[in-house]
Structure 1
Amino acid sequence: MNLLRKDPGIPTDSFYEVRAECTDVPKTKFKIKSGKTLSVRKWQSAFSREGYLDIGQTLGRIYRGGIHPTIRGEVWEFLLGCFDPKSTYEERKDVRLTRREEYTRLKELCTYMFPLVGSGKFITAPVIKDDGTPIQDPIVLLQANAENLMTPTNQATGNVFGNNSAMSCPKEDDKKIIQWKLTLHQIGLDVVRTDRTLVFYEKPENLAKLWDILAVYAWFDKDVGYGQGMSDLCSPMIMLLEDEADAFWCFERLMRRIRGNFKCVGSSVGVESQLCNLSNVIQVVDPKLHKHLEYLGGGDYLFAFRMLMVLFRREVSFGDSLHLWEMMWALEYDPTLYTLYEEPDDSDRPEDAKGKPKASRQCGKYEREYRRNGAKNEETLPISVFLVASVLKEKVKLLMEAKGLDDVLKILNDTSGNLDARKACSGAMKLHKKYLKKVKMEKASS
Structure 2
Amino acid sequence: MGKANARKGRSLWWVVHSWIGLKLSIFLTFILATGTLAVFAHEIDWLVTPSMRVLPRAEPVASWGTLAEAVTRTSPDARLQTLYAPIDPWFAAEAWVSHGQGAPERIYVDPWTAEVTGRHGWANVHRFLRQVHRHLMLPTKIGIPLVSSLALLLTASLISGIVTYKKWWRGFFRAPRRGDTRRLTGDLHRLIGLWSLWFVAVIALTGIWYLVETLGGKAPVPEMPQVAAGAPPVGTRLDRLVAIARRSDPKLDIREIRFTPDHGVILLGQSSAWLVRDRANGTAIDPATHRVIARLDGRDLSVHQRISEMADPLHFGTFGGLWTKIIWFVFGAALTAMAVTGTMIYATRLAKVAQRHGNGWQLAWRGMGIWGYISIALLLMALALTPGAIGGAS
Does the TM-score normalized on the shorter chain lie above 0.5? no
Q: TM-score, normalised by structure 1?
A: 0.21
Higher share of residues assigned strand: 2
Structure label with greater radius of gyration: 2
Greater relative contact order (CA < 8 Å, ≥ 6 in sequence): 2
Q: TM-score, normalised by structure 2?
A: 0.24
